[in-house]
Amino acid sequence: MTEQHPSILRTVHAMDAAGGAQAQGIVQAQGQAEGQGQGHAKGQAHAKAEGQAATTYAHNTCRLCAPLGAALVFRGLRGGMPYLHGSQGCATYIRRYLISHFREPVDVASSSFSEDTTIFGGRANFRQGLENIEAQYAPELVGVATTCLSETIGEDVGALVREAQRARGDGVSGCPALVHVSTPSYAANHADGFHASVRAVVAQVTRKDGTRSTKTPDATINVLPGLLSPEDLRALRRLVAAYGLRPVMLPDYADTLDGGTWDEYQEIPRGGTGLEDIRDMAHAVGTIELGRTLGTEDGETAGRFLLREHSVPLFQLGTPIGLSETDALVGCLANFGRKDVAQEAVLRSTRARLLDAYIDGHKIASRARVVVVAEDDLAVGLVSFLEEIGAHVVLCASGGRPGRLARALERLGREGVKSMKIMSDTDYARVDEACDALEPDLLMGASKAYGTARRLGVPLVRVGFPIHDRFGGQRVLHVGYEGALALYDRFVNALLESRQSRPKLGYSYM
Ligand code: SF4
C-alpha cells in the first residue's frame, strides 16, 4: 500500500478544467496533518522525496468547498435556509455546483461582505441578512456556515448567533431556530463541511431537557446517511421501513433537491427532516451512522454525541455499497427484530439476483483495472464493492485529509488494499499523471474525472457528486442490493462498450 500526500499548498477553490474554470479567488493555505505548522518548505521537500515535481499548487482539486457540504445539509432540513457568513461569490459558487447536479433551484443566502466588512467585521451585515431572510423566506431554521473570509478575519460567528438568539428568541414566537457551523475551506472539504453540519444540527437542536414530543413513536431510529444521492436516501428509507422502523434521516434532501413539479414557486421547497424529529433524536431506539471516516479525526460524530449525551445506542457502519456492506446494514436492522415478512422476502430475492449478476458478469468484471476518485466515505464504499466483484483497484484517490483514506481502507480488511496506490488531499492533475503508469481500464468518480478518462480513452462510470455533464446525477443509486445491481450493470456495460469500440469488427459477445 502506498500513500501520497502531494500538496502542502493547495487551492481551496475547485478549479474545474472540464466544466468551466474558476480561476478567480485562488487561496493558498497550509495543508493539514503532515503539513500543518510545517510550512511551504516541508511541502516541497516532501514532494521531492516522492519523486514528484516540487509543485506548490493544486490544479483541479479532488475536493469542493466546505460550506457547500453545509448548504447541502441545511437544504435537507424542513424549512431550512443555508446562510453563509462571507462574500457573495461563495454563495454563487456553491449554488452553481448544487444546481448543475440536482437540477433544482437552490437559494443560498449570504451576509455579503464588502471591503469595509472585511476590515471592521461583519456583525451589522449578519444581522441585516438574518432580518432579510426571515422577511423573505420565513424559514423554520437558518443554518449559518462560515466561509474562508469570515474565518480568516477571525469573526466570532458563534457569538453573533448567540446574540441573535438572545435578541430574537430561537425557534419560538415565529423566529427561526439558528444553527451555526465552522466551515473554513482551507482546512476542510465539502464532505468535512457536510459531516460537521450534521454534528452541529444534532448538538444544537436535540432536546436538552429530556422531554419528548408525544408524536414520536417508539420504533423511531436515527439514520445519518452521509453524503449520498436523493435516490439513495429514498432507498434507505424503504430499507429501514421494511423492518418496521420509522427513520429520522438527517439530512433528508430527497424531496427538497429532487422533488416533483410545483404549481407555484416555493422559496423553500417542501420536504426535509422536521425540527420536532431532530429534537426527539435523543429518544430514538438507536442511531445508524453510515461512512467509515465521517470527516473526523477525533471520532466526534453526530452519532457519538447522541450516544454520549443521550445514551442512544450507536451502530457505525460503512456506506452500504455492494453486497457485504449492505449485508452489514441489513443485519443491523434485523437486530431490532421487527421485520416485515413480505418485505424481507423482497430483500432476499434482490440479494439473490445481485449474486446471480456477479456470477454472470464475472468474466468481464474480474481483474478489470479500476481507478476510484471520490470523497473518502464513498471511495471506501466503492472499493468494498469493487473488491467483491474481483476488480483490481489500482488507484484510490480523494481530496480528503492525508492519511484518513488509507486508514479507512486498511480497516476494510480487503486483500487488494495492500497493493493499491492511495492518494489523499490530491488533485486531478496528479491523478492524471499517476494513471499513465497504472493503465486503468475504467475510472469511477464524479464528472471532474472526465478529463482523465477522455485522455486515456477509457470509460468513466459517474458516481457521487458533482455529476454535471450527464443527466440524472441526483438519481444515481449507489446503496443497497438494488444500488449494487445498478452499479454492476453500469460497470460491466461500460467495460463491454469500451472493448466493443476498439476492434474493427465493432461487436462483442458476452
Ligand atoms: S468558502 Fe472559500 S473555497 Fe468556498 S467559495 Fe468561498 S472562498 Fe472559495
Query: What tens digit of pLDDT does each residue of 418-449 get?
Result: 999 999 999 999 999 999 999 999 999 999 99
- Helix axes of 323-334 and 230-241: crossing angle, nearest 10 degrees: 40
Which residue in this structure is represented by grid cell 416485515? 340
Contacts (Cβ under 8 Å, ≥6 apart) of 83: 108, 109, 110, 111, 129, 130, 133, 142, 143, 144, 145
88-120 burial code (b ≥16 CB/10 A, e <16): ebbbebbbbbbebbbbbebbbbbbbbeeebbee
Would you kindly state where each structural domain of the chain is located, as residue ranges? 7-49, 66-205, 220-318+332-337, 344-500
331 Cα to the center of ligand 1, angstroms: 41
CATH superfamily for 66-205 is Nitrogenase molybdenum iron protein domain (3.40.50.1980)
pLDDT at residue 39 greater than cutoff 50: no
Q: How confident is the model at residue 503 (pLDDT cuts 50, 70, 90)?
A: confident
In the reported structure, the alpha carbon of residue 147 is separated from the centroid of ligand 1 by a whole-number distance in angstroms of 6
Position 293 pLDDT exceeds 80? yes
* pLDDT at res. 119: 86
Ligand 1 centroid, distance to 12 Cα (angstroms): 7
Q: Is the CB of 243 under 6 A from ligand 1?
A: no
So what's the pLDDT on residue 361? 96
Average pLDDT over residues 395-415: 94
For cell 441585516, the residue is 128
Mean pLDDT score of the chain: 86
Position in ligand 1 atom list of the atom nearest CA 148? 2
Least confident range from 1-15, 248-262, 310-324, 448-462: namely: 1-15
Ligand 1 neighbourhood includes 278 CB (under 6 angstroms): no
Return the H-helix or E-strand segment holding 222.
Answer: strand 220-224
User: 185 CB less than 6 Å from ligand 1?
Assistant: yes
Rounded CA-CA distance 61/71 in Å is 20
If one compares 252 and 214, the residue with the highest pLDDT of the two is 252
> Residue type at 424?
S
Distance 65 CA to ligand 1 centre (A): 6
* Contact yes or no for 84/90 (Cβ under 8 A): yes
pLDDT higher than threshold 70 for residue 498 = yes
| pTM for the whole structure | 0.88
If you measure from the C-alpha of residue 464 to the centroid of ligand 1, how many angstroms do you get, rounded to a whole number?
A: 21
Q: What is the pLDDT of residue 469?
A: 94
Residue 27 has pLDDT above 70, yes or no: no
Contact 117, 125 (CB under 8 A): yes
The C-alpha cell at 494 is: 461500460
Is the CB–ligand 1 distance for residue 12 below 6 Å? Answer: yes
Hunting for cell 466515505 — which residue is that? Answer: 377
Is residue 9 pLDDT above 80, yes or no? Answer: no
CB-ligand 1 contact for 25 (6 Å cutoff): yes
Q: Grade residue 36 by pLDDT with cuts at 50, 70 and 90.
A: very low
Q: Whose CA is nearest to atom 6 of ligand 1?
A: 90
Residue 294 DSSP code: T
pLDDT score recorded for residue 402: 92
CA-nearest of 68, 296, 65 to 189 is 65
126-133: long-range contacts at Cβ-Cβ below 8 A with a sequence spacing of 24 or more? 126/85, 126/157, 126/160, 126/164, 127/160, 127/164, 129/83, 130/83, 130/164, 130/168, 133/81, 133/83, 133/109, 133/176
451-495 pLDDT, tens digit each: 999 999 999 999 999 999 999 999 999 999 999 999 999 999 999
Matching CATH topology for 220-318+332-337 and 344-500?
yes
Task: Flag whether pLDDT at 202 surpasses 60.
Answer: yes
CA 199 to CA 300: how far, in whole Å?
A: 8
What distances in angstroms separate CA 367 from CA 96, 284, 321, one per listed residue? Answer: 38, 44, 19
Measure CA of the first residue to CA of the last residue in the chain; give whole Å: 34
Residue with the nearest Cα to atom 5 of ligand 1? 90
Query: Which of 61, 111, 147 most suits a substitution to test ligand 1, by most atoms within 8 Å of the C-beta?
Result: 147
Question: If you measure from the C-alpha of residue 127 to the centroid of ligand 1, how many angstroms do you get, rounded to a whole number?
Answer: 21
pLDDT band at residue 502 under the 50/70/90 scheme: confident
Query: Which of the residue ranges 109-123, 266-280, 428-442 would you say has the lowest mean pLDDT?
Result: 109-123
Range scoring the smallest mean pLDDT among 116-120, 409-413, 420-424: 116-120
Cβ of 148 less than 6 Å from ligand 1: yes
* pLDDT value of position 117: 85
In this prediction, residue 182 carries a pLDDT of 95
Answer yes or no: is pLDDT of 21 > 50. Answer: no
What is the structure's pLDDT at 116? 87
> What whole-number percentage of the chain has pLDDT above 70?
84
**Band of residue 508 on the pLDDT scale cut at 50, 70, 90:** low
The band of 382, judged by pLDDT with boundaries at 50, 70 and 90, is: very high
Q: What is the CATH number of domain 220-318+332-337?
A: 3.40.50.1980
Spatial neighbors of 144 by CB under 8 A, at least 6 apart, are 83, 84, 85, 157, 160, 161, 178, 179, 180, 181
- Where are the alpha helices (H) located in 107-177, listed in sequence order? 115-120, 123-137, 148-152, 157-168
Q: Which ligand 1 atom lies nearest to the CA of residue 68? A: 4
Say if CB 207 and CB 282 are below 8 A apart: yes
Quick one: CATH architecture of 344-500? 3-Layer(aba) Sandwich (3.40)
- Ligand 1 mean position, distance from CA 276 (Å): 32
Q: Lowest-confidence range among 26-30, 249-253, 327-331, 449-453?
A: 26-30
